[in-house]
Amino acid sequence: MSRTPFVAGNWKMHKTIAEAEAFVSGLLPLVGAVDDVQVGVCVPFPAIQAVVESTRGSAVQVYAQNVHWAEQGAYTGEVSIPMLDELEVAGVVIGHSERRQYFGETDADLSKKLPAILAAGLEPILCVGETEAQRDGGEMEQVLRGQVEEAIADVDAADLARITIAYEPIWAIGTGKVATPDQAQEACAFVRSLVAGRDAGAAEQVRIQYGGSVKPDNAAELLALPDVDGALVGGAALEPQSFAGIVEGA
């Protein structure tokens, strides 16, 4: 089964509208016509509309960085799926370790978000990953199993293949401490086996990204691994040249 590689840049809480537009102007000449790699940028809410407009007709897709599962309601500060859909985003990244750590996002929350996102026709990127202490304590598989199995529990088997799962070991995020190819392959293959536990066909199709200190000089090696189908990139996605260098590595 050949899976189209998917490289997504997560801007986190970076870039005003003007900065986002400048980034897109720099990026499009570099990756705007790429057709063998899916390219996405995960944009803070205020800049989404501008980035959707400035990437229209290009190969670059726009993702949000969070969403609520309810259609509407008394959830001050939250954004709904219909609101994102109206902005014409391609999808949304959920369960990033920063949202889990600082904003209390739980696997139970994600199990409500995933079916709602998929039902709206948007594409989710689900982030999972273990801390250094969990890895050192031999708990990596147990942690990943808990995160993946609970998050996808209420997703129809027919929709599973539309989920992209980003395996992001927390100790590698923003630290410069990238997983070795063996570590990345082992964990991504394990994540795929968890999807296979629900549906073997979906597991063959689902894209699994590696995330954690991916840079232009390590991307090609990581993205060539059999169970790594792309990358979720933080720091190196803030600047068009380095992000394009990672897309090239795919």
Annotated binding site: 10-12, 174, 213, 234-235
126 lines the binding site for ligand PEP (CB under 6 A): no
43 lines the binding site for ligand PEP (CB under 6 A): no
Respond yes or no: is residue 71 known to be catalytic: no
Nearest residue to ligand PEP, by Cβ distance, number only: 234
Binders in 166-185 for ligand PEP, by CB under 6 A: 168, 173-174
Annotated binding site for substrate: 10-12, 174, 213, 234-235
Q: Which of 68, 96, 105, 130 is catalytic?
A: 96
- Interaction pattern, residues 130-169, with ligand PEP; x per rule: CB under 6 A: --------------------------------------x-
Respond yes or no: is residue 168 known to be catalytic: yes
95 lines the binding site for ligand PEP (CB under 6 A): no
Cα separation, 239 vs 107, whole angstroms: 32
Task: Kindly give, in sequence order, each residue whose CB lies less than 8 Å from that of residue 142, ignoring residues fewer than 6 positions away.
Answer: none
229 close to 207: Cβ distance less than 8 angstroms? yes
9 lines the binding site for ligand PEP (CB under 6 A): no
Question: Which among 202, 219, 220, 203 has a CA at the least distance from the CA of 211?
Answer: 219
Count of residues interacting with ligand PEP (CB under 6 A): 13
81 close to 116: Cβ distance less than 8 angstroms? yes
DSSP 8-state assignment for residue 57: T
230 close to 17: Cβ distance less than 8 angstroms? no
Could you tell me which residues are beta bridge partners of residue 231?
Answer: 7, 210
Only segment of 66-74, 107-115, 144-152, 233-241 that touches ligand PEP (CB under 6 A): 233-241
Phi and psi (nearest 5°) for 95? 75, 20
235 lines the binding site for ligand PEP (CB under 6 A): yes
Determine the 3-state secondary structure of 233 from DSSP: strand
Give the DSSP H or E segment for 164: strand 164-167
105 lines the binding site for ligand PEP (CB under 6 A): no
24: which 2 tokens? 């897109």
Q: Which is nearer to ligand PEP, 80 or 147 (CB)?
A: 147
* Interface with ligand PEP (CB under 6 A): 10, 168, 173-174, 211-214, 232-236
Positions annotated as catalytic residues are: 96, 168
